[in-house]
Copies of this chain bind each other. A is one copy, B any other.
């Protein structure tokens, strides 16, 4: 046994225990009895303790010092393990414990504050979380940029400067597109009540059309849609709203994007650091291309209209082209997760700029609400009406997930690049989508990107897939062309 072999035996067990933690999370959100919450917290804390001890185990340092990489796969595994070990070793145990305690506590306080529309009740704990995360960022950055250090937890190899340049190019053209659409006649809406069991049946049909393997997954209902697990046990959840079948259908297709990415990774990487998506941004590129560039395409919408008419009868939409416009309706709204393709990234850009300012000490927690509301009005053209529609809407900051938000828009940018390359590589795609078959697109994504898992750095993963450098241009071009046509701009 070489040092690398010893390291990987240990690492595989750690990865397996990480999967167990994922199962507990899934269980908690889907099937756990309501009275079990407190005991479950103890169970997860015990398992988290085991995982933390393994991720900071001094033997990792010894193995890493002695290990040599015989090939590309081994090199990538060492890179992942080394990064994680060194990162964790830089965070004092006292700080890690304080963060775990404070972010756990903060989530309850945030949920209460959101319900009560009470920003002031959230500020003390937000201040504390910001302070601890800044301390963590500084500890990890070792003189570098603390925000970038946190960003690397979700998107290794990316810098906030790079993202700011990319996002800076996005923002004015998205605002201009939004402005133009506001001047145009409003898009059509579905009208009626949609049987929830039929919604679930159709969302299952869509999941299969997008390549989800139910022998290695399952679909359940939960309050929030999510994908959970890697390898041969990747489960998704969805939800239904009798007035809005798009919620169920497109959140399912979105989660299927995440889930088929995990399912599509080469099994030789199972239970290693390469057996998961390359980063949050690359993950989001898969969920968004499935949901939007494919799932909300004209061709797929035409097929979907037929299936929905079969299942639900008349719902106030005369033809497939009107249906396509309804599925892509741009609407006023405050909530990021409910936003259309045009406005979604404006939500993310707002958070990205504000969280950088918080982390760098340029914005104080008590000034966040005003900063949020000013920026929102400038970018969206209408004013935030209450905190739950503004700075209290997302869980991320109370959970300490600073650096996470930009990966959403980076994922959309990557999805734009992948979509352009996909269309060039698979010319007959629309004819297939119009038959409800996304298989050719999924196959291309699997072959070019998904199967490699974490083998390459996130950006390199996309470069390899598209055969060139990623930029925001394909996403902007796609949005301007699609919504220009939809709204006759």
Contact = CB atoms under 8 A, between A and B. Distances in A.
Nearest to A38: B232
Q: Which of A34, A40, A43, A49 has the most CB of B within 10 A?
A: A43
Contact of A33 (B33, B38, B40, B233): B233
A215 B34 contact: yes
Question: Which interface class (under 10, 10 to 19, 20 to 34, 35 or more) fits A?
Answer: 35 or more
A39 B218 contact: no
Assembly of this chain: how many copies?
2
A-side interface mostly: helix
Contacts of A40: 233
Given A12-B42, A27-B27, A20 B35 contact: no
Contacts of A16: 39, 42-43, 45-47
Contacts of A27: 23, 27
A271 B42 contact: yes
A370 interface: no
Interface string A224-244: 000000011101000000000
Nearest to A13: B46
B232 A35 contact: yes
A39 B17 CA distance: 11
A213 interface: yes
A120 interface: no
A31 B228 CA distance: 14
A264 interface: no
A218 B50 contact: no
A217 interface: yes
A235 B35 CA distance: 12
Interface in A28-84: 31-36, 38-40, 42-43, 45-47, 49-50
Interface of A: 12-14, 16-17, 19-20, 23-24, 27, 31-36, 38-40, 42-43, 45-47, 49-50, 213-218, 231-233, 235, 270-271
